[in-house]
Chains A and B, each alone.
Chain A
Amino acid sequence: AQSVTQPDIHITVSEGASLELRCNYSYGATPYLFWYVQSPGQGLQLLLKYFSGDTLVQGIKGFEAEFKRSQSSFNLRKPSVHWSDAAEYFCAVGDPPGKLIFGQGTTLQVKP
């Protein structure tokens, strides 16, 4: 069955520290992969996406993610977290791009 797993429900990091959010997927074909961010009570904003080509993709707000086919992973990273990054982050796979399977989400808290 197709699925997405985000192993960490809640993560707390200090402002300025590095961040990695994990995402593992199970999908029959080469997936289209996405990371979205959601502030409380708001819709979803796309951070970055992977369709093909270079396995390291750059997104908005200084985020990047690396697709590792052998590990079925698409982890999100940021070298230095800002307080405004506190939000909920969702990893998703989809084909076509809107018919998505989401992970459960990871809530990021940033300590001053």
Chain B
Amino acid sequence: DGGITQSPKYLFRKEGQNVTLSCEQNLNHDAMYWYRQDPGQGLRLIYYSQIVNDFQKGDIAEGYSVSREKKESFPLTVTSAQKNPTAFYLCASSPWDDRLNTEAFFGQGTRLTVV
């Protein structure tokens, strides 16, 4: 089945440590995205990538880094510089061409807790 796989589902991190969240898709989508969800704030865009080896900052990129070495994969690293990393992180993918009248598909999310 085609879809987006995020792992792990739950992640615990000590303060001061970097941690990497995995996102893999087999939908053959060009574009991938990372969103952060906090209670009462909806979802906010962290980073997105239109194509392999290229990515752009979203609205809240500070303290995060990404890479896009393969079309299928878009890992997110939460660095120690992120002041408040505890949140629910969602990965998504879509075609980049908006003329296709399609939508973004989301993974099941990773809940990160800093302890």
Which A residues contact B (CB, under 8 angstroms)?
Answer: 4, 9, 32, 34, 36, 41-46, 49, 51, 90, 92, 94-105
Contacts and interface: CB of A to CB of B under 8 A. Distances in A.
A99 B33 contact: yes
A98 B111 contact: no
B43 A43 contact: no
Given A41-B111, A96-B31, A98-B31, A104 B104 contact: no
Interface of B: 4, 31-33, 35, 40-45, 48, 88, 90, 92-98, 100-109, 111
Contact of B43 (A45, A49, A90, A96): A90
A97 B90 contact: no
A41 B101 contact: no
Contacts of B102: 97
Contact of A95 (B98, B109, B111): B98
A32 B98 CA distance: 9
A31 to B, nearest CB: 11
Given A42-B108, A43-B107, A97-B102, A9 B40 contact: yes
Nearest to A94: B104
